[in-house]
Structure 1
Amino acid sequence: MHDAHNKHSSGKPVTRREMSRRQFLSYTLGGTGAFMAAGMTIPMIRFAVDPVLQSSGEGTFVKVVEESKITAEPKSFKFQVHQVDGWVESEIELEAWIMKNDKGQVYALSPVCKHLGCTVNWNSDPRFPNEFFCPCHEAHYTKSGKHLAVAPAPLDEYDIKIENGFVYLGKVLPNQQVTK
């Protein structure tokens, strides 16, 4: 009867695998090391990925000026936006050239030159009347922002909405005025 307990139903003796002291220490130390590594790595990954997971707020509009103050002549308006850059929050000042097109529709152009990022001004050089002009490398643009010289692309345009008699500006988009 003693032999019946040590055999499987197939008749082979049961062999028990016992863990050696060395295997036990290897598994224990390996598991502890993996647990500690995960404990250090997971917070670092969360720290790196957290800003990406948060909503950027790019769809928000900022009230800039009363619509009644906008004419066909481009005017520069400065406004502040709340910016979150990773873990740093700040208020930054932006500028826009706001005007009406030939159809009386309000639009706003970014003053950032598409050549090397300098700031353009309206009607600032007598050689280029009624144009946006960049003093850095003499790039110039039409009233709609179309590039005429030096710059490789038209001035960008702000997303715009008019609500309750005020002009609100959103994010910067590729210029739509040039194609119209």
Structure 2
Amino acid sequence: MNDHTNHDSQHHGEKPVKRREMSRRQFLSYTLGGAGAFMGAGMLVPMVRFAVDPVLQPKKKADWVKVVEESKITNEPKSFKFAVHQVDGWFESDPELEAWISKGKDGKVFALNPTCKHLGCTVNWNANPEYKDQYYCPCHGAHYTPDGKQLAVASAPLDEYEVKVEQGFVYLGQLGPNKRV
């Protein structure tokens, strides 16, 4: 065998290397696609931030709201309505809330939220003759002590407002878990 046939047998299974070059059409396609994606992202980022930003803001504590004169508070719970200013994202409103305010055995003023912890109905004081001197929920029969401790049906005590008394008036603040029971 000669040198020529030996050389052919070595490269017989290999294909010659072919360089691929980018055509003008491919270059323009990639460039325009990349520029379009960049501009689209530039428009999308402010929209996403506009939608998500209020969720990321830290929740501020509730402002103190003047509700009633301290002289009107007794050991018997009474219902008082009050308005609060709230901002929910971009929506501002002044909903009317309710609190059952009374003095405890220790003489301190406290306020309970009337929302039943079972399914969210509104409880009332002495609303059922079977449960004298208790908060009673008419929806499912849950009832609570004067301090808001659950006795039946509900799984948790009534929530309690922060209370402060200044210059003869009762102010309510942040709503939170009941600390009396």
TM bracket, shorter-chain basis = 0.7 to 0.9
Q: 2 CA distance for matches of 1:46 and 1:147?
A: 43
Q: TM-score, normalised by structure 2?
A: 0.81
Within the candidate set 48, 52, 69, 1:66 is matched to: 69
State the SS of the aligned residue for 2:55.
helix
State the SS of the aligned residue for 2:115.
coil
Q: 1 CA distance for matches of 2:82 and 2:58?
A: 22
Structure 1 residue 172 corresponds to structure 2 residue 171: no
Structure 1 residue 132 corresponds to structure 2 residue 138: no
State the SS of the aligned residue for 2:94.
strand
State the SS of the aligned residue for 2:178.
coil
The structure having more radius of gyration, on CA atoms, is 2
Deviations 1:89-110 (A, max 9, x none): 1110100000111110111000
Unaligned runs of 5+ in 1: 1-17
Q: 2 CA distance for matches of 1:30 and 1:163?
A: 66
Q: What RMSD over aligned residues (CA atoms) do the two structures have, in Å?
A: 1.8
Q: Give the corresponding residue for 1:52.
A: 55
Q: 1 CA distance for matches of 2:95 and 2:75?
A: 27
Q: 1 CA distance for matches of 2:62 and 2:22?
A: 61
Deviations 1:21-75 (A, max 9, x none): 2453144213311222212211221121221244544331111111221111101
Identity in percent: 70
Count matched residues: 161
Q: Give the corresponding residue for 2:148.
A: 145
